[in-house]
Amino acid sequence: MEQKTEEKTIWDKIGTIDYRYIYVFSLIMILIPIIQPIGIPMKVGSNAQTWHNTIVNIPAHSYILFNYYVDLSVWADMGPILVVTLNEVWMIPKERDVKIFFYSSTADGAVKMRDLLVTLCKPPQWRTDSYGTTWVDVGYIGFPNEAAYASFVMDFKSLILRDIRGTSLLDVPAAKEMAAHAAPTDVLTAADFDLLIWSSWGCTDPDMYVRQFWASGSPPYHVPMLMQTIGNCVPNVVPYVGPDKPIRAFIPGAAGAAELEMITGLKGDGTKMADATDLGGVATVILIALGNIAYLGGRFLGKKKEEK
């Protein structure tokens, strides 16, 4: 006896798509922005905009103290912020005569700095050629406790004797010029800087930085800050953030970096991760929609066809 096989409806076919195709589709959607970031439009928050404005509108002849904090265990979250911020600082026009003092509070930073300068960031040639006169890097400084930071802000030479090239700190023209910015003119202190850019994923660190770079000193140093951090530390940072407060703006994690990359047009890992998240979400919605279409179509439209 010939066995009759039931013909599958379009709804059955949609509802029984081979799961391997589903995996491939989802993987492709996530891989596209990793290979080539798209820059899917997103809402840019006030923190990212203030961060950008603070750097691009910094007054001429200003001095920036930049802590290129690098912890490779959280690089995926904080690295993109550091890269886009370094690029923004490098893009400050030469005629503005803004000088930068770099240091790292992590040993990872000293290892990563060359890669940041040569590979991930693109300093203009005039910056590269003007080391010592427009910027100085002193590498890794160990800060075992807050007392060390208290000593540092009063006199950088208490923890730093030489720059990365072995030159005595105040023999570096840029550092010597910075020291003369505020009294005492022969000592480099926190008072000599117009902006501090720093990073940390230690959620209690904002308290220490505010105490040392804002509240300490006589008169108080009141160095305005931009802070890079991770999402978990946001509640600890927010009380210090505002136009008249110590921290003018903060960027929490790679999602914040994506906002900065959107503003500057410098697409990097933040944009890649944001795009991958967005397209992964689109893939999920499409698959959920197909599942519902297959179910509803089979239940209602398929039923009507059987009745006919």
Q: What DSSP assignment string belongs to 78-119? A: HHHHHHHHHHHHHTS-GGG--EEEEEESSHHHHHHHHHIIII
Tokens standing for residue 43: 């809402």
Instruction: Give per-residue pLDDT as tens, 268-298.
Output: 777 776 667 767 777 778 777 877 777 777 7
CATH code assigned at 155: 3.40.50
> How high is the pLDDT of residue 1?
47
Contact 226, 218 (CB under 8 A): no
Q: Which domain holds residue 258?
A: 46-272
Query: Which pLDDT band, with edges at 50, 70 and 90, does 120 fall under?
Result: confident
Q: Is residue 203 part of a domain?
A: yes
Is position 243 within any domain? yes
Q: What is the pLDDT of residue 147?
A: 94
Tell me whether residue 128 is in a domain.
yes
Is 88 within the bounds of a domain?
Answer: yes
Residue 40 lies in a domain: no
Of 223-227, 268-272, 299-303, highest mean pLDDT: 223-227
Q: Model confidence over 201-212: pLDDT tens digits?
A: 889 999 999 999
Whole-number average pLDDT of the chain:
86
How many domains is the chain built from? 1
- Burial label for 112, CB within 10 Å (0-12, 13-18, 19+), is buried
Range name among 95-99, 184-188, 231-235 with the lowest pLDDT average: 231-235
The model's pLDDT over 89-115, given as tens digits with 9 standing for 90+, comes to 999 999 999 999 999 988 888 788 777
Angstrom distances, CA of residue 106 to CA of 112, 211, 240, 295: 10, 20, 24, 55
Residue 10: how many other CB atoms lie within 10 Å: 13
- Residue 134, domain member (yes or no): yes
